[in-house]
Amino acid sequence: MGVLMRSYHRLWLAGLFVASISGTSLAGPQAPNSADVPIAKGGAGSCTADFVVSDSSGKGIYDAKIAIQIKYGFMGLHKLDLTVGTNYEGKARIEGLPEQIKGLAEFKVRHGEQSKTVSYDPLDNCHPRHEVNLGGK
């Protein structure tokens, strides 16, 4: 039984070595243009915001930046500063936004020279979905 276990162990190590050389994991290869939606996690509450950023033709914009700064908590002493970039479909998500904020907050969506702002009011909608058209090239 000891010889069988050593053989199995060597075979497993050889498979791991081959997988590491080939650039794939044992879980399998991942497509370079994965549809995974980038997520920024704020850890300040249960609210979320979903985005789809597109150009004038309706095509998703890759790596558009979505940023927000929020003051929340007692007397607004806590500050949350998040930025996330979109995937090749123009999608991104922000999680962990606070349910109550101090003052006003806006998402700033930008790509290149173009930008737009979208307001964030968790008392009005704690899980907004925004479609932002930057109307550019």
What does the pLDDT look like over 86-105, one tens digit per residue?
Answer: 999 999 999 999 999 988 89
Q: Are residues 25 and 43 in the same domain?
A: no
What's the one-letter identity of residue 34?
Answer: S
Mean residue pLDDT of the chain comes to 82
Q: Are residues 69 and 121 in the same domain?
A: yes
Q: Are residues 58 and 18 in the same domain?
A: no
23 φ/ψ angles, rounded to the nearest 5 degrees: 85, 10
Q: Are residues 53 and 15 in the same domain?
A: no
Q: What is the CATH number of the domain that holds 121?
A: 2.60.40.10
Q: Are residues 13 and 67 in the same domain?
A: no
Q: What is the percent of the chain where pLDDT is above 90? A: 66
Q: Are residues 66 and 106 in the same domain?
A: yes
CA angle (99 as vertex; 35, 89 as ends), nearest 5: 15
Considering its fold, how many domains does the chain have in total?
Answer: 2
Cα distance between residue 88 and residue 57, in whole Å = 15
Q: Are residues 67 and 111 in the same domain?
A: yes
Task: Give the side-chain half-sphere CA count within 13 A for 115.
Answer: 11
Q: Is the pLDDT confidence value at 83 over 70?
A: yes
Q: Are residues 48 and 22 in the same domain?
A: no
Q: Are residues 19 and 47 in the same domain?
A: no
Q: Are residues 24 and 47 in the same domain?
A: no
Q: Is the pLDDT confidence value at 11 over 50?
A: no
Please give the residue range of the domain that contains residue 11. Answer: 1-30
Note if the pTM is more than 0.95.
no
Q: Are residues 24 and 46 in the same domain?
A: no
What does the pLDDT look like over 105-114, one tens digit per residue?
Answer: 999 999 999 9
What does the pLDDT look like over 37-71, one tens digit per residue?
Answer: 999 999 999 999 999 999 999 999 999 999 999 99
Q: Are residues 22 and 54 in the same domain?
A: no
Q: Of 19-28, 32-41, 61-70, which gets the smallest average pLDDT?
A: 19-28
Cα distance between residue 99 and residue 15, in whole Å = 48
- Of 5 and 135, the structure prediction assigns the larger pLDDT to 135
The pLDDT value recorded for residue 75 is 84
Check if the beta carbon of residue 14 is closer than 8 Å to that of residue 6: no
